[in-house]
Chain A
Amino acid sequence: MKRAFFFLLSFFLLISAAQAARISEVVEVSMLDQALRFFSFQDPSVRYALAGSLLLGLCCGLMGSFLVVRRLALMGDALSHAVLPGVALGFLWNMTKDPLAIFIGATASGLLGAGTVHVLRQTTKHKEDAALGFVLASFYGAGICLFTMIQNRPGGSKAGLDKFMFGQAAAMGPGDVLLLGGVTGACVLVLALLFKEFRLASFDPGFARAVGLPVRALQAGLMLLLAFAIVASLQAVGVVLVTAMLVIPAAAAYLLTDRLGTMLLLSAGFGMAAGGLGAFGSFVGRNLPTGPFMVLAASAVFVLALAFGPRHGITARWWRQRCRVARVRRENMLKAVYHVLEDADFSGDQAGVAALAARRRMAPREIQKLLEEVRDSGDVTLAGDNVAFTPQGWQRACEIVRNHRLWELYLTHAAQVAPDHVHDDAEAVEHLLGEETVRKLEKRLNYARRDPHGKLIPGLGDIAPGRPSGRATGFGGGGEGRP
């Protein structure tokens, strides 16, 4: 067993050894010096690694956005594995690591993989995930076979090919950077020219087809660009982590905005930031491999977006939820005060804590606490054990009661629900109904004045501020003199 684990570990060590080629060969310098060296850009290796990482982040960020919005993230994963046999075949072309031959072979193989997924989806009953998994696994298996075949041939040292599987950002040369630059330029150009078309074809293929866009060609073009991006990035970050650079920055951007254009920009920015951080971190930290560090930087951005995104972040959602719960709590209290006043036929304008406690079946101390909360929001005034509405609070209480009773009436009239079944539903809906819906309901119910239980529905005239007379009529004179 120890031996088995050792195999495992050495398997991964080999990966990390491939990835962990450092940008810097200098060992005995302090971190600060190292950082200064990085920013002076004197080493050509630093320049290439940084330029390559930035371009990679830009390119992957742009293409990844489409993957994320179209739910194709796993397609990126499958494609990045599917290019492997093409890399081997490109190498076989003339038994040298000719970047162009490898690029062509890898792209062709990637497109073949995408095509296979499509064919499997069309002709068999297998679902998307199975088709993707099949392509990922079988192409990768074929790639491994080809690699080992090359390795067993005379003159077929596969040392250079490993680079494609695990990536070496640190070892990028001018040729690699040029290739990445070309691919990135092509992606930016095509996306800039055809942005509207791509957007339409991605979000609503049916409509795009209807207005005469060549949807299939656009989707194939997108796959082609994606394959380009993957193949060009493969040398820097390797098969597994290229998926990460495609998906993670784009997912972070997806959490921050609802617009595709903004998302593309954000995602490209995140990708470049992650790329730069990866290059910097692996240079300064010396022991940190570039690719994984890049991915961790991107993940950190994603985690921040997930936690603190202004609209879709967890904190923001939690805060909104909290505010909503607090509002419902306050509104329920206002309603209780209204009910207590109503029980007394609106003869007084103050409700006692004891009556409220009895009404809500809660301890007076809790009621007191809730009332203080409502007072702090300016809806009631507290005088000892008595509570009275402010104009604003009176209006809100009337609205809530009206919503509740209108909804009960609507359910009994329009939905034929029994009168004793409508209360719970109305209890939830009363906090959600907007004015517009209320107008519609009132109209639909012929401006009824009584709810199914015979209670008055406070109307528009009753709750409009500054029109006390209107309200008074609504309560048959019972509410005169109220604020």
Chain B
Amino acid sequence: MNALVPVFDWDQVVVQPWSTDAAFTAWIVLMGFLVASACGLVGNYLLLRRMALVGDAVSHSMLLGLVVVFLIFREVSTPVMFLAAAATGMLTVGVVEFIHRQSRVKPDAAICIAFTTFFALGVVLLSLAEVGGPVHIDAECVLYGEIALVALEPPLVLGGMELGPPSVLRMGGVLAGVVVLVVVFYKELLVSSFDAGLARSIGLRTGVWHYGLMAALSLVIVAAFEAVGAILAVAMLIVPPMAAAEMSERLPGRLAWTVGHAALSALLGFHLSVWLACSAAGAMVVAGAGLFVLACSVRWLIRKTGKVVSASVI
């Protein structure tokens, strides 16, 4: 039991990764940061809409969409995959809404029903398709979505310049897209998330924004998938915005804290994984959760001391 946690060695855990293997380390931390911040920015709006677990549902049912697309096209390119992801995400949300509008089943149960059914259907389809020919199964770490594989990808070369691992570039593109969307449609997203009634009354089409957000969510999830795996992508959707909500009451502040939290948890998580020799993606989530607990206690302390101060003033 005691051999499980190695002795903490500052030099080995913190110094060496940045001195001997700087590029490797940098790509992994960068990928972790990109995934966590892209997921976190979208997650802020999910949290405001009390839809945190819809991300969970969408990420699971993604399997069905990808399998169906694969069965139809046999060959899958980025745009097709993204399209399939967006379609599946919106289909899931649509089915959830259908179930709880058309019957007395509550939304939470409807979410569970929809995504587990889609997931099961995907698995069954996969196992039926598998009969066609044996598919090579790659490293076991893919099971958990191993972020360290990112650094091993052959870098994308464009015009003689080495740009970096393609999945990092893709994730960067998705993050850039999310940032642009958040900046351009800041007002619309803000109003429709905080007060759907007001949004409707000033002429916003809340349904469009709702489904647009779901499409963005699906794209972020599908891009984050290979790096961190389905459920850890959900963690990146929920944990950074929760920590940010502890730090700030206002949306711009929250968005900024989300990015900061993402960067910190990617960095801390990486070193945690080096220390404990465990999955980097899992460690990033654990680090993020730890930061959330820290944020909670800081807030609690501030409130406590604030009370003491105000009491002594009186």
Within 8 A of A (CB), among B258-302: 273, 276-279, 281-286, 288-289, 292, 296, 300
- B131 CB to closest chain A CB (Å) equals 6
* Cβ-defined contact, B112 with A141, below 8 A: no
Whether a CB of chain A sits under 8 angstroms from the CB of B53 is yes
9-residue interface stretch from B23-31, B120-128, B212-220: B120-128
Of chain A, the residue at the smallest CB distance from B249 is: A125
What B residues does A127 contact at CB under 8 A?
A: 47, 50, 52
* Cβ-defined contact, B235 with A140, below 8 A: yes
Distance A287 CA – B53 CA, assembled complex (angstroms)? 32
Distance A143 CA – B81 CA, assembled complex (angstroms)? 29
Contact of A134 among B55, B130, B242 (CB under 8 A): B242
- A56 CB to closest chain B CB (Å) equals 15
* Cβ-defined contact, B117 with A12, below 8 A: no
* Cβ-defined contact, B232 with A141, below 8 A: yes
> Per-residue CB proximity of B74-105 to A under 8 Å, as 1/0?
01111001000000000000000001001111
* Cβ-defined contact, B238 with A134, below 8 A: yes
* Cβ-defined contact, B126 with A133, below 8 A: no
Whether a CB of chain B sits under 8 angstroms from the CB of A362 is no
Report the contact-size class of chain B (Cβ under 8 Å from the partner).
35 or more
* Cβ-defined contact, B137 with A17, below 8 A: yes
What B residues does A312 contact at CB under 8 A?
A: 103-104
Distance A72 CA – B50 CA, assembled complex (angstroms)? 15
9-residue interface stretch from B14-22, B60-68, B186-194: B60-68
- B100 CB to closest chain A CB (Å) equals 10
Whether a CB of chain B sits under 8 angstroms from the CB of A429 is no
> Per-residue CB proximity of A146-179 to B under 8 Å, as 1/0?
1111101100000000100000000000000000
- B37 CB to closest chain A CB (Å) equals 16
Within 8 A of B (CB), among A1-27: 1-17, 19-20
Q: Given that A9-B70, A153-B3 are contacting pairs, would A133 and B117 also be in contact in the complex, using a CB cutoff of 8 Å?
A: no
Q: How many A-B residue pairs have CB under 8 A?
A: 275
* Cβ-defined contact, A4 with B226, below 8 A: yes
What B residues does A17 contact at CB under 8 A?
A: 137
* Cβ-defined contact, B123 with A19, below 8 A: yes
> Per-residue CB proximity of B41-65 to A under 8 Å, as 1/0?
0000001001111011000100100
What A residues does B52 contact at CB under 8 A?
A: 127, 129-130, 132-133
Distance A143 CA – B60 CA, assembled complex (angstroms)? 18
Contact of A292 among B121, B141, B142 (CB under 8 A): B121
* Cβ-defined contact, B232 with A8, below 8 A: no
* Cβ-defined contact, A251 with B279, below 8 A: no
Within 8 A of B (CB), among A280-313: 287-289, 291-293, 295-296, 299, 302, 306, 309, 312-313
What A residues does B66 contact at CB under 8 A?
A: 5, 8-9, 12
Interface size on A, residues (CB 8 A): 84
- A197 CB to closest chain B CB (Å) equals 23
What A residues does B11 contact at CB under 8 A?
A: none
What A residues does B116 contact at CB under 8 A?
A: 240-241, 243-244, 247-248, 295, 299
What B residues does A148 contact at CB under 8 A?
A: 141, 144, 277-279, 282
Whether a CB of chain A sits under 8 angstroms from the CB of B158 is no
* Cβ-defined contact, B144 with A144, below 8 A: yes
Whether a CB of chain B sits under 8 angstroms from the CB of A263 is no
> Per-residue CB proximity of A312-335 to B under 8 Å, as 1/0?
111001000000000000000000
* Cβ-defined contact, B289 with A7, below 8 A: no
- A105 CB to closest chain B CB (Å) equals 13
Q: Given that A144-B232, A145-B282 are contacting pairs, would A4 and B123 also be in contact in the complex, using a CB cutoff of 8 Å?
A: no
9-residue interface stretch from A74-82, A200-208, A386-394, A445-453: A74-82
Whether a CB of chain A sits under 8 angstroms from the CB of B135 is yes
Distance A92 CA – B2 CA, assembled complex (angstroms)? 10
* Cβ-defined contact, B4 with A137, below 8 A: no
* Cβ-defined contact, A295 with B56, below 8 A: no
Whether a CB of chain B sits under 8 angstroms from the CB of A124 is yes
Distance A141 CA – B290 CA, assembled complex (angstroms)? 12
- A350 CB to closest chain B CB (Å) equals 46
Whether a CB of chain B sits under 8 angstroms from the CB of A231 is no
* Cβ-defined contact, A73 with B278, below 8 A: no
* Cβ-defined contact, A10 with B137, below 8 A: yes
What B residues does A464 contact at CB under 8 A?
A: none
Whether a CB of chain B sits under 8 angstroms from the CB of A443 is no
Of chain B, the residue at the smallest CB distance from A299 is: B117
* Cβ-defined contact, B277 with A149, below 8 A: yes
Distance A19 CA – B119 CA, assembled complex (angstroms)? 12
Whether a CB of chain B sits under 8 angstroms from the CB of A262 is no
Whether a CB of chain B sits under 8 angstroms from the CB of A255 is yes
* Cβ-defined contact, A247 with B4, below 8 A: no
* Cβ-defined contact, B239 with A137, below 8 A: yes
Of chain B, the residue at the smallest CB distance from A132 is: B53
Whether a CB of chain B sits under 8 angstroms from the CB of A126 is yes
* Cβ-defined contact, A16 with B126, below 8 A: yes
Whether a CB of chain B sits under 8 angstroms from the CB of A30 is no
What B residues does A293 contact at CB under 8 A?
A: 120, 124
Whether a CB of chain A sits under 8 angstroms from the CB of B136 is yes
Distance A187 CA – B56 CA, assembled complex (angstroms)? 29
Of chain B, the residue at the smallest CB distance from A281 is: B124
Distance A296 CA – B235 CA, assembled complex (angstroms)? 27
* Cβ-defined contact, B127 with A287, below 8 A: yes
> Per-residue CB proximity of B1-17 to A under 8 Å, as 1/0?
10110000000000000
* Cβ-defined contact, A72 with B286, below 8 A: no
* Cβ-defined contact, B56 with A140, below 8 A: no
Of chain A, the residue at the smallest CB distance from B232 is: A141
Q: Given that A140-B232, A255-B105 are contacting pairs, would A152 and B277 also be in contact in the complex, using a CB cutoff of 8 Å?
A: yes
* Cβ-defined contact, A10 with B63, below 8 A: no
Distance A123 CA – B296 CA, assembled complex (angstroms)? 9
- A481 CB to closest chain B CB (Å) equals 52
* Cβ-defined contact, B112 with A77, below 8 A: yes
- A58 CB to closest chain B CB (Å) equals 19
Within 8 A of B (CB), among A32-77: 67-68, 71-74, 76-77
Distance A153 CA – B278 CA, assembled complex (angstroms)? 10
What B residues does A13 contact at CB under 8 A?
A: 126, 130, 135, 137
- B174 CB to closest chain A CB (Å) equals 12
What A residues does B81 contact at CB under 8 A?
A: 1, 5
Taking A72-B108, A148-B282, A248-B113 as given, write out 19 further A-B residue pairs in contact, using a Cβ cutoff of 8 Å, ordered by the A residue number.
A1-B166, A2-B76, A14-B142, A16-B130, A71-B106, A73-B111, A81-B231, A130-B47, A134-B242, A137-B232, A140-B235, A141-B235, A146-B278, A147-B279, A149-B276, A241-B116, A251-B110, A288-B124, A313-B103
Q: List 23 A-B contacts (CB under 8 A).
A: A2-B75, A5-B70, A14-B140, A20-B123, A123-B296, A129-B50, A133-B55, A133-B237, A136-B234, A137-B285, A137-B289, A138-B239, A141-B281, A141-B285, A145-B286, A147-B279, A148-B278, A153-B4, A244-B120, A287-B128, A292-B120, A295-B116, A299-B117
Closest 5 CB pairs of A and B: A141-B285, A137-B235, A244-B116, A144-B282, A138-B289
Interfacial residues, chain A to chain B (CB-CB below 8 A): 1-17, 19-20, 67-68, 71-74, 76-77, 81, 92, 123-130, 132-134, 136-138, 140-150, 152-153, 162, 240-241, 243-244, 246-248, 250-251, 254-255, 287-289, 291-293, 295-296, 299, 302, 306, 309, 312-314, 317
